[in-house]
Amino acid sequence: MPFAVEGSIDVLLADSSPLQLQLLTSALRRRPEFNLLACPLNLESILETLTPTSCKVVVLAMNHQPDGIHLDLLRRLHVAHPQVAKVLLLDNCDCVTAVKAFRSGARGLFCLADSHFRALCKCIQVVHRGEIWASAGQIGYLVDVMSQVPSLRVVNSLGGKLLTPREEQVVALVAEGLPNREIAHELDLSEHTVKKYLLRIFDKVGISTRVELVLYAMTHGE
């Protein structure tokens, strides 16, 4: 490995494909702005290589992995090293996957099929500065999701839905601690209508207080 220049970014690259790992490692090590380490794409190898001072950015090449597997690895890595910026390399990334990835701790999403190598280098530098790397479409979808009224799916012991979508929104806002007046404002309803929703929810669930509703939602909500 060439000596790192002053001010270079310490980067860990992990990939499940030995050939792609070799190619990406070779390409990134030619860049003087990076001080690169590499390892296979599994949590044990990553944690063995990664120390609190060894790397500032982790690049996870997950284009060969199913979504559920790479998001679980990402979440566990983020819990262990929340201070390290994480970039996912993917073949493609739809908006739903983007939301799940950012919720799991990603700071950048990079689609290998849509961009060139220089853009990947820029992506690493951007997340190292504490910024986000995502497409305009992904950012727009994230904003839309954040602006939606939350809902909490409440189910019975068999997994069946107990409440209507509007009732689920009321439960979610109650669980967040909002009083009836704020719930009414959030949902563009009257306070009287919110009270009617709550009475109907209490009857369906078999409870009688807001505290019981919050506890029920915590144990039966999805």
pLDDT at site 222: 60
Domains contained in the chain, CATH given: 9-145 (3.40.50.2300), 165-220 (1.10.10.10)
Q: What φ, ψ does residue 33 adopt, rounded to 5°?
A: -80, -5
Kindly report the pTM of this predicted structure: 0.67
pLDDT at site 4: 46
In tens, the pLDDT along 129-184 reads 999 999 888 888 888 766 666 666 766 667 777 788 888 889 888 888 889 999 99
Helix (H) or strand (E) holding 50: none
Read out DSSP for 103-154? HTT-SEEEETTTS-HHHHHHHHHHHHTT--B--HHHHHHHHHHHHSPP---B
- Residue 88 is encoded by which pair of tokens? 């996912």
Low-confidence ranges of the chain (pLDDT < 70): 1-6, 52, 64-69, 145-152, 154-157, 220-222
pLDDT at site 118: 92
